[in-house]
Structure 1
């Protein structure tokens, strides 16, 4: 082959089969660049090694309020739990104080502390004792109503919150709870009748106190409202509905979360009236300590 003859660009004879060309490849699918990502909704499934039950929690996204103040909701599943408004084993996680039923039915003898109270189904509450090893209590008058207040704390301390049970001395059926967290967030449980689950034949037998109001020291507030159980959609002709006690006075004891209102524009700073006059404050001009500081000579540290 002469020097002027051009060489084959394929490096050899192709034989008409196309071996000199690259193979066709399918395009690969990749995630877009930027803030997008593929991930789960945050659920985690765990198993209890003692009972063998499985549990899972699915968080519910809500828009936060001012300073991040807003409801923290989630759907929780437990294979050992009963039926609920969201299906078998499912329930909505909301704050509440309930009587413990693991070791027996409630006796409702609150004067004798016959029952154990549970905060949000997690920790037992024990009464706070005074120096005389008696149950701590104090009387407080609010809006002309006298309340007997008892303090409680978790059996295993970790909240560092003040937990109080308020009882109307004139009407024991008016019983509710208040907690003040270490972040100065005040939460009321069962302050309204619609947020209490009680025996309709004996209103003194209150089984559960649901959260009804929560506010912080920045003016943010959340208000929870509940709907009472009724017989709407219940077929009384079915065999499984024959034992229901439907009367005019009694429709149902259970309560279901209806709405949560938060994100208020006007700051909310409640004041609990105690009908107690404030002490006469001393004037700063007549304060002896203030006068002494004004006459003091400033010295330099040696």
Structure 2
């Protein structure tokens, strides 16, 4: 078992029962001892203090919703002092207005990320290599037209001086076949080629250089040849930090049998028929609307639906 995998197992064991409020010295294995700088001379009080401090520090690098979930999982904080893990899951579900199954899944995601952070393999806060991030993104998908249309509007923030371009991508089952893209404002479209069989990379060359911290607005219109060119889902999987994502989908008369939310899901959950997220009602106009905040890079946010 790798060091990261070992740490994941130790963290999942530690969250059981009373979490860090229970007896911890016999549940803190070599992975956690190394990550939390615990020595053989440390007693249970010192072990609990060091693990609590280290996990709180690492959780601070996670998006807000995952931070709430993982701190409650280990019973860190007065509000999350329930004696059983299932009680803490229920408390988080009520606090975040989420289904308990979603909270359990997010707890597993957060523990995976904590293990990576503790092992030094990743960092979710902005790194020196980040050139820009998304302050807000608004996507509207219209499906009740002969050619489905996607309008994507973004406000980006430069994270370095002299920013002149941004790299983006769009994934579709058939790749770029039949897809047209038009920049409405914000720069000049640059074809980056196929990054994978179903993912087309493109960029926008900006008309001038941006200074660090300067905002910039851009919009791209995509048109597809038919509804079948789009999978039964619309999701964003950000590569960089994304603060806000607003999604609207117009189904029109051909409404799906159900629509469920993808909120911090694994990428494989987007197309996994066994995935069940929270149901999202379709309004009388045949539309759905969902807002997301503080998106975690690499996680999926959006909706998926069952075709009628």
Q: TM-score, normalised by structure 2?
A: 0.22
User: Which protein is bigger by CA-based radius of gyration?
Assistant: 1
Q: Which has the higher helix share?
A: 2
- Give the structure, 1 or 2, with the largest relative contact order (CA under 8 Å, sep 6 or more): 2
The TM-score, its normalising length taken from structure 1, stands at 0.22
